[in-house]
Structure 1
Amino acid sequence: MDGMSLLTITVLAVFVGFEVVSKVSSTLHTPLMSGANAIHGIILVGAIIVAGQAADPWVLAIALLAVVLATANLVGGFVVTDRMLHMFHGRKDVARSASAKAESK
């Protein structure tokens, strides 16, 4: 593959990833975070493939930038998902403590 083809694949991967993720409404963002993380993982794999096949230094630089940004996006999504799950876990603990206090009285 030549450099222009690799650059085209990288740009299309970034565009498709942005369009798909931006279509998620804010009310559904947290419940659908795992699906978005899967999309980010696909983008990361595409960026790694492009970086691995890059022959020109400027294509390699852009592909490596895509790898870094996709990795940050993927990790950030998992961090948000983890925080969300801890929030739901905290609500169950509060409900259990309140019911335990009510039963002891």
Structure 2
Amino acid sequence: MNQFLKLFVFVLAGFVGFLVITRVPPLLHTPLMSATNAISAISIVGALVAAGSDHNRVATVLGFVAVICATINVVGGFIITDRMLRMFKGGRS
């Protein structure tokens, strides 16, 4: 696959993703974020595969860094979702 086609697919995916997200009503933002965080946890599996591959030391180190970054992304996403859900619960009397 040549580089132009890869760039075209990337730009098209970004454009379609933007259009889909802007059409989601605000009421569904929190469940959508939670589902997106769960789906992005798949990136941890890919990072673990990259870290576990025994090609060379650089690939292992970059895979380890990818595991750290993906884990921070997923945990941070769930923390933000939890904060948003607490905003809607309100105080108890």
Deviations 1:13-55 (A, max 9, x none): xx8xxx6xx7444956533111111222100111112211233
- Paired residues, number: 74
- Give aligned-pair identity as a percent: 47
Q: Which runs of 5+ in 2 are unaligned?
A: 1-9
AA aligned opposite 1:30: T
Q: Which runs of 5+ in 1 are unaligned?
A: 1-14, 98-105
| TM-score, normalised with respect to structure 2 | 0.64
Structure 1 moving runs of 4+ over 4 Å: 25-29
* Rg larger for: 1
| TM-score, normalised with respect to structure 1 | 0.58
* Distance (Å, rounded) in 1 between the aligned partners of 2:54 and 2:74: 23
Deviations 1:64-99 (A, max 9, x none): 111111000000000011101111111xx47xx5xx
Question: Relative to structure 1, is the Cα distance of residues 29 and 68 closer, same or farther in structure 2, using a 3 angstrom cutoff?
Answer: farther
Q: What root-mean-square deviation, in Å, do the aligned CA atoms of Structure 1 and Structure 2 show?
A: 2.5
